[in-house]
Structure 1
Amino acid sequence: MKVLIVEDELDIAANIWDFLERRGHVVDHAVDGRQGLARAVDEIFDIIILDLGLPRLDGLELCRRLRDAGSGVPVLMLTARDTLEDCLSGFEHGADDYMVKPFAMRELEARIRVLHRNGSPLEDSVLGLGELSYSSKSMLAERAGQSFPLTVSQGRILSLLIRESPNVIRHETLLNAVWGEQGGTSAALHSHVCTLRALIDRPFDKPMLQTVHGIGYRLVDPA
């Protein structure tokens, strides 16, 4: 994988760089938020490892601007902020996964491998349900002529919901599909689903994404 580390603490960045490089990955580094955003927009990376407490532009704002620019590159956020609200804020700004410092390097690599695998579709497929469609290649969802880019995790969730519609997909199944056995929480899943609902349902009269309380979610064609 080609990995961009955006981290202002040089010792942490150096440790991650050394570990990942020894594992065969190609690594680059940006020391502040503005530099990180410029690199992320101008170059192609498989994964971005992003600190939150950055100078010049904080990690949340960097991630939001990256998503607003239409980039779907997987983002793993690193932070010392460990509250549930901090975690949910990260996902709301477009992160795909979230780790709290201090962390184990082997777990970090396992997490980014899952994100990379999930972000690399086996085929260029376009899935559809009624007026809703999703392209795994462009990572764009479209409903009734309106299109919107999705993150890797959002695309993974939507793909599974479309494929299995109108069946109910359990929370555990969605968690494993997006994060594998190495990460992901019910709160993270809920945050991603809320973002998806805001994109594919809120602008329209008839909702498609349904919550089955205590069990999971399903997608239906309201036509």
Structure 2
Amino acid sequence: MSLFLLLVEDNFDLAETIVQYLELEGMTCDHTASGEAGLNLARENDYDVLLLDIMLPRLNGLEVCEALRHAGRDTPILMLTARDTLDDKLAGFTSGTDDYLVKPFDMPELIMRVKALARRKSGQARVLSALDLTMNLDSKEAFRTGRKLNLTPTGWILLETLVRAYPSVVSRNKLVQAVWGDDFPETNSLKVHLHKLRRQINGKFQAPVFHTVSNQGYVLRENDEKNP
């Protein structure tokens, strides 16, 4: 599995062992020993997974993780640390990590977790983006090209589902589940809410980005004449 990883670990012996093992598995791994450098590298590069120690110089792993999430980076993060109490793990997940591996660990388990994380984007990012759309999950504000969108609560859920799935098509059933779960009303409610959302996203802007894909669902993408 060809993956591009970043390891932020100040124990050079351990870091060397991890990097060598990852390379044997066909993965490429950058390494740095400081949190500040790790944060900069994570901002500049498109990594598949980040491996973060917690006890780091300058910025610790929790601070690095939190900064990336508030910047909207959805790269999966695996914390590597000797801290094994429940409070330590809660702190890690609160900061935005996706998984937690306590030292010492077996290398095959590390590989297994890295591969599992690489299959998905993190759900911990606090700012979501797709094309020229952004959503701030903390302030509950959505924007297109910097202009605020006045979304209903249902419109927010629908847009978040579409943004998280971008650039994939989202089926009608998935949108129904996102809003109503198993209690979908026997009305045309979804159609009405999608019409309102489309008007919000496309109506006042030069290029539409919300499209219907015939017999498949809905998608965010650049204007497509085949699927207006």
Cα distance per residue 1:64-117 (max 9 Å; x no partner): 011111101000001110001100110000000001000011111101111111
Flag structure 1 segments of 5+ consecutive residues without an equivalent.
Answer: 140-158, 169-223
Alignment match, 2:49: 47
CA distance in 2, matches of 1:102, 1:162: 41
Q: CA deviation at 1:43?
A: 1.0
Distance 1:138 1:62, change over 3 A: farther
- Note the 1:5-44 alignment, pairs <5 A: 5-44=7-46
Which amino acid letter does the alignment assign opposite residue 114 of structure 1? A
- Note the 1:122-141 alignment, pairs <5 A: 130-131=154-155, 132-133=157-158, 134=161, 135-137=163-165
CA distance in 2, matches of 1:161, 1:55: 47
Contact 2:49–2:118 (CA<8 Å) still a contact in 1? yes
2:87 to 68, 71, 85: 85
SS at match of 2:89: helix
Distance 1:160 1:29, change over 3 A: farther
User: TM-score with structure 2 length normalisation?
Assistant: 0.57
- Larger Rg: 1 or 2? 2
Q: CA deviation at 1:18?
A: 0.4
Flag structure 2 segments of 5+ consecutive residues without an equivalent.
Answer: 123-129, 131-152, 168-173, 184-228
SS at match of 2:46: coil
1:99 to 97, 101, 105: 101
Cα distance per residue 1:152-198 (max 9 Å; x no partner): xxxxxxx8994595249xxxxxxxxxxxxxxxxxxxxxxxxxxxxxx
Contact 2:154–2:179 (CA<8 Å) still a contact in 1? no
SS at match of 1:8: coil
CA distance in 2, matches of 1:105, 1:13: 12
User: TM-score with structure 1 length normalisation?
Assistant: 0.58
Alignment match, 2:114: 112
Alignment match, 1:151: none
Cα distance per residue 1:19-45 (max 9 Å; x no partner): 000100011101100000000001110
Higher RCO (C-alpha 8 Å, min separation 6): 1
Which amino acid letter does the alignment assign opposite residue 73 of structure 1? T
Distance 1:69 1:5, change over 3 A: same
Distance 1:162 1:65, change over 3 A: farther
Alignment match, 1:166: 181
Q: Give the RMSD, CA atoms, in angstroms.
A: 2.6
Which amino acid letter does the alignment assign opposite residue 45 of structure 2? E
Alignment match, 1:59: 61
SS at match of 1:73: coil
CA distance in 2, matches of 1:161, 1:45: 32
Cα distance per residue 1:112-132 (max 9 Å; x no partner): 111111239xxx9xxxx9321
CA distance in 2, matches of 1:130, 1:94: 25
Distance 1:114 1:36, change over 3 A: same
